[in-house]
Amino acid sequence: MHHEHYVTLLEGFCRLTGMDLTESLLADGQFCLDEVDFTLDYGGVTAPASVLIYCDFGPVGELNVSSCMELLGRNLLLYDGEHTAAFAVSPESGRILLMTSADLFHTTAAALLEQLEYCAQLSTQWRDGTWTTIEDEYKEAGNG
């Protein structure tokens, strides 16, 4: 039953973006949006009311300590309990991923697209070096 909601959400998402809903997309959930790779997955047994979202931030490469601290600090800021986001490194690909989820029953296709576009924007900023650091945000807020 829940999987049917996932398929319906993907159908709506594909209509909004002009993508074809293929068996491949349903099976592996991989696609590109705004030049950023994503994977969507139905939460299944562990999170049956969720759409799991993985946004590729690129290769780990030459991360320095300050970059690692920035990602770990973001994890703390992003944490809010259910449907929270976190950064991780994929052991399969060695790439940085932003992982989050959406509520399968309360997320519209438009809201999913908006969430993915925001993730894509962050990924692009991280890759091109225009990412606003936590320290910069703190200063901009008048706290430093």
Q: What is the pLDDT of residue 71?
A: 82
Q: Which helix (H) or strand (E) holds 33?
A: strand 30-33
* Nearest residue to 122 via CA among 90, 96, 92, 84: 96
Task: Read off the pLDDT of residues 2-13 as tens digits, 9 standing for 90 and up.
Answer: 889 999 999 999
Instruction: Average the pLDDT over 36-58 and give the result.
Output: 93
Q: Which residue has the tokens 């259910």?
A: 82
Q: Which of 65-74, 105-114, 121-130 has the lowest mean pLDDT?
A: 65-74
Structural domains in the chain? Answer: 2-140 (3.30.1460.10)
What does the alpha-carbon distance between residue 34 and residue 32 come to, in Å, rounded to a whole number? 7
Whether the per-residue pLDDT at 98 is higher than 70: the answer is yes
* Nearest residue to 27 via CA among 37, 17, 15, 41: 41
